[in-house]
């Protein structure tokens, strides 16, 4: 008897890609049905300021519609569909959920455990994409790429950007601080080595690899990193400990003229305090790809500052990210159906 698998993707994590890789991994003995959600053309729910679904974050879809689609399926593969406790109570046959993202914030993990539902994820699926984007973000700020582009598009030739007292600095003469040393942060470290810069890492929960230690990467406390780094790039997860941990006190400790890069998550930063630090000139600039509220309001004060580069949460978006996540999810499905232990249980 074939196993029933519900696949809920979207216009980034294509359901057809999931289905293709599941069939390649598992053969034809599976019954797959797919649903495509409209993200990213339509925004997801964020839930950081209060969630209507039992505290779930970063999800898309109405519970009744999701439950009706899953129906009697034993396995669910999804990107953004929420699974709350009340939804699980209506899905008695569901035994397995694969979430194609690094953190299953759209799943009630305690409820899944209580209902004996295995949840797996796809850690590192977009690590390469975010790390490469981060390097681009750093260069856009430190080498005045954004400043020059905006001026020229506005009809102004900024010859002053070549002046010695105004022009940018090379990474090889700078100190870069990486906050968070997981799959993305460690890859940023690897890419930065080619530039010859000094590299600091702050993460109290992990140790540096032997290679990074041998290459001169320093493992320091957050306070020391803030005071020494010319560029600070964030790669931590949102937890009660890290929510707004880049606030007024932290920003005041950053050396004058330094740059802040956030390609991680918006709630890590107190954006009102960041606005003040940028407007006062204490920070030289910032590059922000993620926000506490998405889409950002059109009247958001940070949009009006001249020393900020803003992008609409696209650091992790690459074709390779889709392929890697689909391959990992399909392998987890195969292992579950074969009775093998999962590679990435949550």
Domain ranges, ordered by start, for the chain: 3-123+318-337, 127-310
Is the distance from CB of 286 to CB of 141 less than 8 angstroms? yes
- Tell me what pLDDT residue 2 has: 67
The CATH number given to 127-310 is 3.40.50.720
pLDDT at 1: 47
pLDDT, position 54: 77
pTM of the model: 0.89
CATH number of 3-123+318-337: 3.40.50.720
Residues belonging to the active site: 265, 294, 313
Dump the DSSP string for 64-111. Answer: HHHHHHHTT-SEEEESS--B-HHHHTT-TT--EEEESSSS-TTB-HHH
Same fold, 3-123+318-337 and 127-310: yes
The 10s digit of each residue's pLDDT in 48-104 is 666 678 779 889 999 999 999 999 999 999 999 999 999 999 999 999 999 999 889
Tokens 């030739």 found at: 157
Give residue 11's pLDDT.
Answer: 97
User: Are the CB atoms for 25 and 326 separated by under 8 Å?
Assistant: no
Q: How far apart are the first and last CA of the chain?
A: 28
For 32, the token pair is 């797959």
Among 106, 75, 141, which Cα is nearest to 284's? 141
Q: H helices then E strands: how many in the chain?
A: 12, 12
Nearest to 13 by CA among 32, 39, 46: 39
273 vs 281: CA distance, rounded Å:
13
25 contact partners, CB below 8 Å, separation of at least 6 = 330, 331, 333, 334
Mean pLDDT of each 10-residue bin along the chain, 346 residues long:
88 96 93 97 79 83 97 97 96 97 92 97 94 97 93 94 92 97 96 98 96 98 98 95 96 97 96 97 96 89 94 95 96 97 95
Predicted local distance difference test score (pLDDT) of residue 77: 98
**In contact, 81 and 37? CB cutoff 8 Å:** yes
Q: For the segment 302-314, what is each residue's pLDDT rounded down to a tens digit?
A: 999 999 999 999 9
Torsional class of 313: left (φ above 0), alpha (ψ -120 to 50), beta (otherwise) = left
Alpha carbon of residue 190 to chain centroid: 18
The pLDDT of residue 45 is 87
**What backbone torsions phi and psi does residue 284 show, to the nearest 5 degrees?**
-70, -30
CB 4 within 8 A of CB 70: no
Are 9 and 34 contacting, i.e. CB atoms less than 8 angstroms apart? yes
Query: Can the peptide bond before residue 32 be classed as cis, meaning omega within 30 degrees of 0?
Result: no
193: its two tokens? 């080595």
Q: Within 13 Å, how many C-alpha atoms sit on residue 91's CB side?
A: 31
CA atoms of 112 and 143, how far apart (whole Å): 48
Q: 60-92 burial, b for 16+ CB within 10 Å, e for fewer?
A: bbebeebbebbeebbbbbbbbbbbbeebbeebe
Report yes or no: 268 and 292 within 8 Å, Cβ to Cβ.
no
């Amino acid at each position: 008897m074939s196993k029933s698998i519900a696949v809920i993707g979207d216009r980034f994590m294509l359901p057809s890609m999931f289905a293709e890789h599941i069939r390649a991994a598992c053969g034809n003995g599976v019954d797959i049905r797919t649903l495509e959600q409209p993200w990213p053309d339509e925004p997801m729910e964020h839930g950081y300021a209060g969630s209507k679904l039992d505290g779930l974050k970063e999800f898309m879809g109405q519970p009744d519609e999701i439950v009706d689609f899953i129906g009697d399926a034993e396995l669910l593969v999804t990107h953004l569909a929420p699974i709350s406790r009340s939804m699980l109570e209506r899905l008695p046959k569901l035994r397995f959920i694969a979430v194609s993202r690094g953190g299953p914030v759209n799943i009630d993990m305690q409820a899944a455990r209580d209902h004996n539902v295995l949840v797996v994820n796809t850690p590192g699926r977009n690590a390469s994409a975010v790390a490469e984007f981060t390097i681009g973000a750093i260069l856009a700020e430190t080498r005045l790429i954004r400043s020059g582009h905006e001026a020229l598009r506005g009809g102004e030739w900024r010859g002053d950007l070549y002046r010695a007292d105004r022009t940018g600095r090379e990474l090889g003469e700078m100190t870069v601080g990486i906050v968070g040393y997981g799959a993305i942060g460690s890859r940023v470290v690897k890419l930065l080595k080619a530039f010859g810069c000094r590299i600091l890492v702050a993460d109290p929960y992990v140790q540096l690899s032997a290679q990074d230690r041998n290459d001169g990467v320093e493992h320091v406390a957050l306070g020391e990193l803030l005071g020494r780094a010319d560029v600070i790039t964030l790669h931590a997860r949102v937890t009660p400990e890290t929510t707004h941990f880049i606030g007024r006190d932290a920003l005041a400790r950053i050396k004058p003229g330094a740059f802040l890069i956030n390609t991680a998550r918006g709630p890590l930063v107190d954006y009102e305090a960041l606005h003040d630090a940028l407007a006062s000139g204490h920070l030289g600039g910032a590059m922000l790809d993620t926000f506490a509220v998405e889409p950002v309001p059109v009247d958001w004060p940070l949009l009006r500052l001249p020393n900020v580069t803003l992008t609409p949460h696209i650091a992790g978006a690459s074709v390779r990210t889709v392929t890697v996540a689909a391959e990992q999810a399909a392998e987890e499905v195969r292992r579950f159906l074969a009775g093998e232990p999962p590679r990435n249980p949550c």
